[in-house]
Amino acid sequence: MTIDDRDRRPGGEPRRMAPKPGARQTSRDLERYAGLFAARTRVMKSSAMRDLMALTERADIISLAGGLPDTSSFPAESFAAIMGTVALDSTARSLQYGPTEGLAVLKTCIAEVMAEEGMTVDPDDVLVTTGGQQVIDLVCKTLIDPGDVIIAEGPTYPGAVPTFCSYQAEVIQISLDEDGMRIDELEATLERLDREGRRPKFIYTVPTFQNPAGTTMSLPRRRRLVEVARERELLVLEDNPYGLMRYEGDPLPTLYALDGGDFVIYLGTFSKILSPGVRLGWSVGPRPVLEKMNIGKQASDLCSSSLTQLFVAAYFASGRWQDYVHSLREIYRRRRDVMLDALAECLVGGRDEFRWTHPQGGIFVWVTLPDYIDTTDLLARALDEHVAFVPGRAAFLDGRGASSMRLNFSGVGEADIREGIRRIGEVVREQVELYGTLTGSHRIVAPQPEPAPAPADQQLADVLHLPRPPDRRRQRPGAREG
């Protein structure tokens, strides 16, 4: 025994502070605030994950976790000129409140953007919002009572999860495969809900280059989804931030275009084609729904920023906005290719041991690892190696996704993408080998050696564009899926 005598009272008991009479049972701060919080503030997202994710923003980490577009290529002089135009030509107006539904001049630009994807809209039918995120919020605000069902994809856009939770919705997630949402599973789920006497209030989908999976809903499935919506009179919220960020393949008609306006609420945004900092998005959809959303928006923020709306309008007027989109597309396409090549080199395994999607556009790749690896724990390890990604659990509300991860390729340069994937490959390999040791199935997994140099004429090609021999992927076992 090593208890110091001075810590004992004469009777031999340890010195201790007695609780004061009538001691309250919780600390003042807890009482003051916790008892007041509304039920809707109970968020489902893990706060451990949130704290881990906060670490991914450190400057010394290669973060493949963000969803940031590359804004570094926007020319400073253009920015200054446009702001100057707005300041001089629309001084009072840009500093003033505007109508809740948005400035007419911006709605014309929005109609132009939608026309670029084959949709014709009357500018008057557009609701301008503060970012695309606000559309998700307003749709929930308009449609969702606590306990109402929302159908979403599984995985789904992680940013939608807290919004759904804040309206206390019950979210049912439908699996994805390489052609997007499994419509057969959707229909079976709707049947089951029917039998339970329940109807979803809406179906939330990101059909094109989905965040996080990178998958695109095939045309037959789009048609079927629109049919199902009509048959059952269900609303569909189509979230399309990346439609114009296509690197290969042919554009598909949006659900909105296929539907004709009765059941699809369309969500668009300037974040990925121009700037997320301007905080501007929009919605078009069935008029009665948009009217309610308008009222909900007014109650939220009165109106979106007049200053940024005029900035975007001036930007559209000053030149071809499509050129900037094209240049971003080029940058992202190369980065996507670098990432996919790096994955193929660094995650080499047996059949289907490591799988990842092959996005035809957008800014994310979704990787699935063996199910004994938990990507939340893996992230803790990866941070030690100064690389970060989004653990797959963030995209689910039901505990799925634990062995998947979302990788972003728009936010970092090509060299960092290569190095980041290399580091991820190492920590994954470490865990695979450890698991093998622990279960007696010893395996050493080595990175794929560099492929043989291309024939002479191909070597003359621009190295930045990483020429891809057409059938290289099919020859490599265990590589990409989707």
Partner 1 sequence: MTRVAVLKGGRSLERQVSLKSGARVQDALERLGHDVVGIDVGHDLVDRLRAAAPDVAFVALHGRDGEDGTVQELLEALGIAYTGSGVSACIRCADKVLAKHHMLDAGIPTPDFFAFNETAFKELGAADALPAIEERLQFPIVVKPSGQGSALGIKFAAAPKDVPGALVAAFSYGDKVLLEHHIDGRDLAVSILDGEVLPVVEAVPREEDFYDFEARYVIGRTEFVCPAQLPEEITVRAQELALEVWHVLGCRGFARVDLMLGAATGELTVLEANTVPGMTETSLLPLAADAAGVGFDALIARIVELAL
Query: What DSSP string describes 119-178?
Result: ----GGG-EEESHHHHHHHHHHHHHPPTT-EEEEEES--TTHHHHHHHTT-EEEEEEEET
Residue (20 or 474) nearer to partner 1, CB: 20
How far apart (Å, rounded) are the C-alpha atoms in residues 179 and 404? 18
Smallest separation (angstroms) from partner 1 to the CB of 16:
4
- Cα 450 to chain centroid distance, Å, stands at 32
Q: Tell me 41's DSSP state.
A: G
Report, in angstroms and rounded to the nearest whole number, the Rg of the chain calculated over CA atoms.
26
For tokens 């008892």, name the residue: 35
Smallest separation (angstroms) from partner 1 to the CB of 25:
6
Residue (217 or 373) nearer to partner 1, CB: 373
Residue (24 or 199) nearer to partner 1, CB: 24
Six-digit token string for 250: 């042919």
**Cα–Cα nearest to 379, from 152, 58, 164, 68:** 58
Smallest separation (angstroms) from partner 1 to the CB of 451:
31
Other Cβ atoms closer than 10 A to 54: 9
Smallest separation (angstroms) from partner 1 to the CB of 382:
9
Residue (46 or 71) nearer to partner 1, CB: 46
Residue (236 or 369) nearer to partner 1, CB: 369
Residue ranges that bind partner 1, judged by CB under 8 A: 1-4, 6-7, 13-20, 23-30, 33-34, 37, 42, 46-48, 50-52, 54-55, 58, 372-374, 377-378, 380-381, 383, 431, 433-435, 437-440
Sign of CA dihedral 257, 258, 261, 263: negative
Residue (1 or 464) nearer to partner 1, CB: 1
Six-digit token string for 375: 């990507």
Smallest separation (angstroms) from partner 1 to the CB of 54:
5
Cross-strand partners of 170 = 149
Smallest separation (angstroms) from partner 1 to the CB of 461:
41
**Cα–Cα nearest to 176, from 205, 150, 154:** 154
Residue (19 or 453) nearer to partner 1, CB: 19
Smallest separation (angstroms) from partner 1 to the CB of 235:
32
**Cα–Cα nearest to 120, from 273, 240, 266, 21:** 266
